[in-house]
Structure formats: structure tokens, C-alpha cells
Chain A
């Protein structure tokens, strides 16, 4: 148990559906992240939120829409996805600033299958 939870753990959706992934951190951290992990590819950073402000968007398609209502919760809203979006989506959190910058703690992930 790392203090970062993600729901749902598994999700199957059609290309016309709309769904949301939820992440919650119980560590008192001030930064949260979404990553995509596909087979045979390194982890891809999608979004970064620092103090609820989005500080990074790595050219992610607009069919992925993040939301960070407070420093403990992070959502990823999904709509009109493509089969190539099937992957494990990982959420992470960290406390930015000294003494432990960049030390990220990960949730268990949501396995997404787009049919």
C-alpha cells in the first residue's frame, strides 16, 4: 500500500463511450501525475499538476482531459478513445521541493481496454 489509490482497476469501453479514471493520494503531497504504460514502450508522462495547476501536458490528444480539483484528487476523463489507447494508466504523487524532490509514489494503475 503506497498511499495512492486508483479506481477502477479495470475498465473496458467502446470508442464512443465517456468514462473517467480516478486517483486519490493520502500522502499529503502537492504534485500529481498521469502516466501511460503500453507494452514495449517506456512509461509516458501525460500530465503533471503542481499545487492543482497543470504544469505539463506532453502533447496528449484532447480525447484525454485531466482534472485536479484539489491536491489529493486527480481525474482523467476519457472520450472517443481509439484502440491504441488501450494501456495501463498510472497515477503518481510527490512532494515537490527539498529534501526529496522527484520522489514519486505510484498507484496500482487502471488497465484500460478500448474495443
Chain B
């Protein structure tokens, strides 16, 4: 069965510093991978997705993620964090099983220091 692990529950970075959020997945075939962001009291917003092709994908708000099959990882990066990036970030995997189902990680909460 598919699964997603986000090993970091909470990360704090300084404004302007770089950011990397980790995501590892378990899936036998080529996965469809997603990163979502959730601000407090809000729904989830799609940041970026990987379906196939170029393993480095660009998303909204200056985020990017790299698919590494050998490491079963899909880490999210941003070169310079802004205070407005403080939120919770969820990695998700889909593919196989019931159509449309996404399996989400438990999320990583990002705090930004001024």
C-alpha cells in the first residue's frame, strides 16, 4: 500500500533563509506526487505536482521540489523564506487503488523567525 512519511513535525527557519521539507513515499510504480500548503483555519492549496518528465518541478510562491526515485523522496525547497510562508505543509502520493485517492503525510509545520 502507498504511504507517505514527513519526518519533521515542526521546523523553524529565519526569514530569508533557505528551506527544505522532507517527504518520503512508498509506492511500487511511478507515483504521482503533490505538495499542499495549509494556512491556519484554511483549506489546502496545491503548491506543485509531479506526474512524469523533468524531476525538478516548479510551483507557486517560489517553491520547487525534486523527485528522486532512488531515494523515494520528493523534497520541497525554497531558496529564501518569507514570513508569509509560515503554515503547515503536506506531501501526498496517489496512484493505484481507488481512483482519485490521495494518501497524505502527517504534515510539517513551518515557523518563520523575523
Verify that A and B bind, or say they do not.
Answer: yes
When the two chains form their complex, are residues A42 and B46 in contact, meaning their CB atoms are under 8 A apart?
no
Q: How large is the interface on B (under 10, 10 to 19, 20 to 34, 35 or more residues)?
A: 20 to 34
Is the beta-carbon distance between A96 and B99 smaller than 8 angstroms?
yes
Of B32, B100, B107, the residue contacting A42 (CB under 8 A) is: B107
Partner of A105, one of B46, B51, B101: B46
Asked if residues A55 and B43 are in contact (CB atoms below 8 Å), the reply is: no
Given A50-B100, A101-B32, A103-B46: 14 more A-B contacts, CB < 8 Å: A4-B43, A33-B100, A42-B105, A45-B102, A55-B98, A55-B100, A56-B98, A56-B100, A99-B51, A101-B100, A103-B34, A108-B42, A109-B41, A109-B42
> Which 7 interchain pairs have the tightest Cβ spacing?
A102-B94, A106-B43, A106-B44, A43-B104, A108-B43, A42-B106, A31-B100
> What are 30 A-B contacts defined by CB distance under 8 Å?
A2-B45, A4-B43, A33-B100, A42-B106, A42-B107, A45-B101, A48-B98, A48-B99, A48-B100, A50-B100, A55-B100, A56-B98, A56-B100, A90-B43, A90-B44, A96-B99, A99-B51, A100-B49, A101-B32, A101-B94, A101-B99, A101-B100, A102-B32, A102-B94, A102-B95, A102-B100, A104-B100, A106-B44, A108-B41, A109-B42
What residues of chain B have their CB less than 8 Å away from a CB belonging to chain A? 32, 34, 36, 41-46, 49, 51, 90, 94-95, 98-102, 104-107
